[in-house]
Amino acid sequence: MTALVGIDLGGTQVRAILATEDGRVLARYRTRTAPEDGPEAVMGRIVAAARTVMAQAGGLPIAGVGAGSPGPLDYRDGVVLAAPNLGWINVPLKARLEAELGLPVVVGNDANAAALAERRFGAARGVDNLVYMTVSTGIGGGIITGGRLLLGRRGFAGEIGHAAIEPHGPPCKCGNTGCLEALASGPAIARAAAERVGRGEPSVMLSLAGGDPKRITAEIVAEAARGGDSLAADVLQNAAFYIGVALVNLIHILEPELILIGGGVAHAGDLLFDTIRSVVRQRAIPCMAAQVRIEPAALGDDAGVLGAIALFLEYGRT
């Protein structure tokens, strides 16, 4: 038996695990990313996190390292082209980690990695045609078709968050307007709620945010909706509508058998999922809508680190 290191590089935290090939976690470590300190400092924290979990291998040989990073990221040479949340441009993540750790390293987009993790360790075991979507600060995606991750030419494929859903809709960070991410991500949900509360629509969200609409978060919207607040429910259902429309397109293009939705916003639960499923039922070609399940992802906060392990298992030995 061998062990593997999985690294999840996020805008807020760097997480590392040591795990066996079947996903049993042997050691965990997490630290602040603090991207404001610059790429070199972050690289130092990633290396330190990896070494911390590697020190707990207890004599088990370590086969390699997987690392999931915000994209776009060229999976062939392991260079992160641009990661706005990290302030990174053209950072050679794979080469740096291989030099520092002395192990083979596979890097990949974090949402692609999470899709692989759900298939190997989570809610998509045995599923060859999967759409994975994570809805949190942004909206990311990973597509598995015919049992293989859809990479595109350089590994940029699967950017579900930048599917254009409302062509004249709100601006997106990518430069387009009306992307799914600009309509249904956590910040988009919070902004929609803040606008309506700011216009005087009654809602418990105002007091939950301490009287300042600008302090409404997606978590507050979800909490208020669960408590029966009709404005919060409406805001969430609007986001769910857009997610459903995006999924109708994906269902028609890819014919998945399972769609998994993860990320913080998925914690909103039935209110979100019921609307998404009903949009799909109403709008997708019936024979295609009937055969697809839409479910919450299973791995939660571990999706990133287990995804990094899955990346290495998938691509580290070829």
Cβ-count burial of 209 within 10 angstroms (0-12 exposed, 13-18 middle, 19+ buried)? buried
Residue 79: how many other CB atoms lie within 10 Å: 19
Residue 96: how many other CB atoms lie within 10 Å: 17
Positive or negative CA dihedral for 92, 147, 254, 239?
negative
Sites for Zn ion among residues 176-215 (CB under 5 A): 176, 179
- Total site size for Zn ion, rule CB under 5 A: 5
Q: Which two tokens stand for residue 44?
A: 């130092």
The alpha carbon of 27 is separated from its chain's Cα centroid by a whole number of angstroms, namely 23
Residue 65 makes contact with Zn ion by CB under 5 A: no
User: Closest distance between Zn ion and the C-beta of residue 181, in Å?
Assistant: 5
Residue 174 makes contact with Zn ion by CB under 5 A: yes
- Does residue 64 sit in helix, strand or coil? strand
User: Closest distance between Zn ion and the C-beta of residue 45, in Å?
Assistant: 29
First to last CA, the chain: 19
Stretch that binds Zn ion, among 164-172, 194-202, 257-265, 286-294 (CB under 5 A): 164-172
Of 187 and 300, nearer to Zn ion (C-beta) is 187
Residue 298 makes contact with Zn ion by CB under 5 A: no
Of 162 and 191, nearer to Zn ion (C-beta) is 162
User: Closest distance between Zn ion and the C-beta of residue 206, in Å?
Assistant: 30
Residue 164 makes contact with Zn ion by CB under 5 A: no
Residue 162 makes contact with Zn ion by CB under 5 A: yes
Residue 111: closest CA among 145, 146, 151: 151
Of 66 and 158, nearer to Zn ion (C-beta) is 158
Of 134 and 203, nearer to Zn ion (C-beta) is 134
Cα(67)–Cα(73) distance, rounded to whole angstroms?
11
Interface ranges with Zn ion (CB under 5 A): 162, 172, 174, 176, 179
